[in-house]
Amino acid sequence: MKKIKYQIDELRKKILKYDYFYHTLDKPMISDSEYDYLLNQLYDLELKYKEFITPDSPTQKIGSNLLDKFKKVTHFFPMLSLENTFHLNGYLKFENRIKKNFTANYIIDFCCELKIDGIAVSLIYESGTLVRAATRGDGYLGENVTQNIKTIKSIPIKLKGSNIPKRLEVRGEVFMLKSEFFKLNNKGLSIKKKYFSNPRNAAAGSLRQIDSTITAKRKLMFFCHGFNFFEEIKFFQTHYEVLIQLKNWGIPINKDMLVCSDHLEILNFYKKFEKNRLLFDFDIDGIVIKVNSLYLQKKLGSNNKSPRWAIAFKYPSKEEITKLNDVKFEVGRTGVITPVAYFNPVYISGVLIKKASLHNKNEINRLNLYFNDYIIIQRSGDVIPKIVNVIKSKRLENAKKIFFPIYCPVCNSKLISNKGGKIIRCLSGLICDAQKKKIFCHFFSKNALNANGLGPKVINELIQKKIVLNLIDFFYLTENQLKNIENIGKKKSVKIIKTILQSKKTTMSRFIYALGIFSVGEVVAQKLSNYFNIFNNLMYASKQELELIDGIGKVVANNIFNYFSISENKKLVKKLTEILSIIPYSKNFFNAKIEHIFNKDIVITGIFKEYSRNELKEILIKLGARIGNKVSKKTKLLIFGEKVGRKFLEAEKLNIQMINEKELYTLLKSIN
């Protein structure tokens, strides 16, 4: 069971990282198909081992954290993601699941629409006037982008016509035309400014401009695909009817919609636009299929992540042929060697691609790569480039085979591989310059010691100018030393020194995570902190003792033990513990202060003003709570906000203790 728990934890960490890069930074790291594969793996494991489901699992979430520069607003109705499939069988499973819920008396038809690759937004109209616009964010809290949305010419500030509801939510996709995208990039390149990788990325960057005049110049577009009424509207029966009415009120919708009664009609619609999608001046990555009846939509409802009445049927990836020029072996923070292929640039779906990760030694062996090979590049899920095959018939007679190195390409240390040979690492740590920079950056990152202002550029210059040779040196930096760094004046140098001093006070779990031990993420760091309480106990723990900790298997235990077995690491850690003020995890403290929370099964429901539900979950988990998704006899406490539902009623029936948002904040303040 420990291995299963570890597998689930590792999958979650990966997916949450990819979520952050996709939803928050608009920089996808992997393809949709690769992401879906990982997510489906996690779904299957959690379905089989329900005891390991946690509230922060990606299967329970919608998006990722918000950027700080826009004010947060709470969505009146959660903005959920869509279930998706790349195959007809996936759609048929969805359709069969729908039909199982209803008798043969119901005639179920579906509204099919194009899936435009843009940024999801919510528009609130009051008495026909646009009063608020927000991005999806984490599904519960979004970013207020009202002023920027008002610059989009296709979005009406005032609706026209009659019978307009007093309050209405319109949902849709903000996107950039391909023609505008190319103009923007050409202009950027001509003045040596940063260019965007694709139209979606350009739309996201344009929508999140602090200066609305910049957004206005970017000529963004909008199509509506959804809606919510704040009061019951009886004169609409179907999703299609509402979209047509929204169009009459002045809201732009995509004209390519079709109501279908069976999967053959849906498949024809899918194939028609798959064939012609490159002819459109905007990116389409599939179609969206929705139960047309509003009554049936309401009956089917939603789960935590997606509505049960809709699915995205996505298109497969596109391919191009190009010539491989080189393979470079990059060294990661933990010493993992990742091969990266560089090839003649090719355009796929309007994006210029010139490199692709080869992931590991096994992938190089699978492809049997030679220098100057002609390779097939696929932009998986229309996002991440991948080498899918080699055209061996075009290989040169004297071509040289590409081999994985035996020695580190940066420090020349001998590389070590795991048993399967998949992961190959340089174990030199701080001796290796490539690892040094990344180790320093990780140590002071947001979720570690959180020294704001001490970013990669500053750290890189400090290393290059030999101002810092190890982690200890950072805590003795002076203003004069920082003045030697480019673009750092007196004010910024004072701020950096201050944040480094503030970072000295940290928790044991943050410090463990900051050390960057291979395979020790935030979850494992918290477990180690909870178990050992005092750092020295962890440093001198045996493999056997480490393996006893719930959720830590042999591999992770071995990595932790090996880290502290290296004398240089031990010396460094001892010096750091002398400099830092590490707050131990005290069970007695938590029991005394918050007996309502520590080691209790807690369920959260409703919408909260000060925090999102995910933020609350994170706070409570750190205080020792176990967060559940369902109310049961095991539940000891229900924390509720506004707009509560079924969970609140179930807790009342079971006579479970309940506290509201105000009572929770009072409780949390009492422990500070």
The 10s digit of each residue's pLDDT in 273-301 is 988 887 788 989 899 999 999 999 998 99
115 carries an active-site annotation: yes
Judge whether residue 255 has pLDDT over 80. Answer: yes
DSSP 8-class letter at 22: I
Q: Domain 429-583's class? A: mainly alpha
Which of 100-109, 113-122, 133-142, 263-272 is predicted least confidently? 100-109
pLDDT, mean over the chain = 84
Residue 81 among known ligand-binding residues: yes
pLDDT at res. 589? 43
Residue with tokens 């002045």: 250
* Residue 479 is labelled as binding a ligand: no
Please report, for the chain, the start and end positions of each structural domain, with discontinuous segments joined by +. 2-53, 72-314, 319-417, 429-583, 591-669
Structure tokens at 175: 């996107």
Alpha-carbon torsion, ordered 35, 38, 42, 48, to 10 deg: 130
Residue 224 assigned as binding residue: no
pLDDT tens-digit readout, 404-421: 999 999 999 999 887 677
Q: What is the DSSP string of 517-585?
A: -TT--HHHHHHHHHHHSSHHHHHT--HHHHHTSTT--HHHHHHHHHHHHSHHHHHHHHHHHHHSEEEP-
Residue 64 has pLDDT above 80, yes or no: no
Sequence-distant (≥ 6) Cβ neighbours of residue 259 within 8 angstroms: 109, 110, 111, 112, 238, 240, 292
HSE (CB half, 13 Å, CA atoms) of 536? Answer: 4
Q: How confident is the model at residue 588 (pLDDT cuts 50, 70, 90)?
A: very low
CB atoms within 10 A of CB 397: 4
Could you give the 3-state DSSP secondary structure of residue 222? strand
| Segment 155-187, tens digit of pLDDT | 998 898 888 999 999 999 999 998 898 888 777
Q: Between 263-276 and 88-100, two packed helices, what is the crossing angle to 10 degrees?
A: 150
Q: Is 136 annotated as a binding residue?
A: yes
What is the structure's pLDDT at 592? 42
Q: Has 626 been labeled as part of a binding site?
A: no
Q: Is 33 annotated as a binding residue?
A: yes
Six-digit token string for 112: 């099919």
Comparing 464-478, 503-517, 646-660, the range with the smallest average pLDDT is 646-660
| CA–CA dist 622, 219 (Å, integer) | 45
Which range, of 97-111, 242-256, 354-368, 494-508, averages the lowest pLDDT? Answer: 97-111
pLDDT of residue 341: 95
Question: Average pLDDT in the 211-217 region?
Answer: 86
Residues, the chain: 672
| Mean pLDDT computed over 504-520 | 89
Catalytic entry in 61, 115, 600, 647: 115
- pLDDT of the residue at 63: 46
Write down the pTM of the prediction: 0.47
Determine the pLDDT at residue 613. 80
What are the tokens at 519? 């395979």
- pLDDT at site 133: 95
In the predicted model, what is the mean pLDDT of residues 238-264? 93
Average pLDDT over residues 490-499: 85
Rounded to whole angstroms, how far apart are CA atoms 657 and 595? 13
Please name the fold of domain 319-417. OB fold (Dihydrolipoamide Acetyltransferase, E2P) (2.40.50)
Cα pseudo-dihedral 139, 141, 144, 150, rounded to 10: 30
d(CA 338, CA 13): 19
The distance of Cα 213 from the centroid of its chain, to the nearest Å, equals: 29
The pLDDT assigned to 130 comes to 93
Q: Taking residues 209-220, what's their average pLDDT?
A: 88
Q: What is the mean pLDDT of residues 15-42?
A: 70
Question: Domain 2-53 falls in which CATH fold?
Answer: Helix Hairpins (1.10.287)
CATH number for 72-314: choose from 2.70.180.20, 3.30.470.30, 3.40.50.300, 3.90.1010.10: 3.30.470.30
Region 10-32: mean pLDDT is 72
User: What does the alpha-carbon distance between residue 317 and residue 395 come to, in Å, rounded to a whole number?
Assistant: 25
pLDDT at position 370 over 90: yes
Tokens read off for 470: 């190890």
Is the model's pLDDT at 250 over the cut of 70? yes
Q: Which architecture characterizes domain 591-669 according to CATH?
A: 3-Layer(aba) Sandwich (3.40)
Q: What is the pLDDT of residue 31?
A: 66
Question: What's the CA gap between 565 and 575, in Å, rounded?
Answer: 16
Q: What is the DSSP letter of 24?
A: I
pLDDT exceeds cutoff 70 at 194: no
Q: Is 34 annotated as a binding residue?
A: yes
pLDDT of residue 388: 86
Please check if 51 is assigned to a binding site.
no
